[in-house]
Amino acid sequence: MKLQNEIYRNHPCPFSIDPFPRETDEVYVATDDERIYQTVEEFGGKAVYTSPNHQSGTDRCAEAAQKIAEKLDFDVVINIQGDEPFIRPEQIEGLKTCFDSPGAEIATLIKPITNAAEIANINRPKVVINNNLEAMYFSRSSIPFVRDSKSEEWINRTNFYSHIGMYAYRYDVLLELTKLPIGVLEKAESLEQLRWLENGYQIKTAKTSFENIGIDTPEDLEQAQKLLM
């Protein structure tokens, strides 16, 4: 979990003791920062120290899950990034529902695109899915390509989905993912999930109508603070 500025003014990290009491069995904060760890402890929450050398949130999540597995039994891990404090309970439920399908290994969220400009935004990864709501490909490019049509008309010709970067994993699959080398597609698009597709893993998707706000810049922080006023 990343340390945020004082988004709640009085607390240095956006954490409540259990933001999803009905949707999850256990909530832990994984961090390499002592300030976050101590704050969570003060709130009465549960925290796990992880290595500061992880290259991705997936790797950090896997290390935390291994430590938690020493005292708890569980099948599925939901990874909520610390820089996305506005996750909705409905989104957690959507991820959980994906594992009702036999063979589901990884789950993530997608949102229908309703703004034509978003289709061409390279900072908003898009995803194409099959009839079973399984991801076929993720890209920063505009996918699918609509032939014989002006780009501004594409949104009226077919369905487009943006990717919401929340994941859930079967615990054993999560551990396997951390052992995979970076693939050609991931290098090209700078999207970690392509490593998993390239190695044959199935990514089930759940649709959401909610737009999460990631906090990556001072402007994002300002917008988030306004929502809390």
In a domain? residue 16: no
In a domain? residue 85: yes
Q: In whole angstroms, what is the distance from residue 182 CA to residue 197 CA?
A: 12
In a domain? residue 228: no
Q: In whole angstroms, what is the distance from residue 112 CA to residue 83 CA?
A: 22
CA distances from 70 to 37, 49, 73 (A): 19, 14, 8
Strand-pair category, 126-129 with 203-207: unpaired
In a domain? residue 100: yes
Q: What is the pTM of this model?
A: 0.84
Domain count, the chain: 1
Structural contact between residues 164 and 108, judged by C-beta atoms closer than 8 angstroms: yes
10-residue averages of pLDDT along the chain (229 residues) = 43 46 79 92 91 91 96 93 80 94 93 94 95 97 95 94 94 97 96 97 96 70 68
Structural contact between residues 208 and 109, judged by C-beta atoms closer than 8 angstroms: yes
pLDDT score, position 87:
83
What is the span of the domain harbouring residue 100? 29-213
Chain-centroid distance of CA 16 in Å reads 19
Which CATH number do you get for residue 206? Answer: 3.90.550.10
The type of residue at 10 is: N
pLDDT score, position 114:
94
Coil, strand or helix at 56: coil
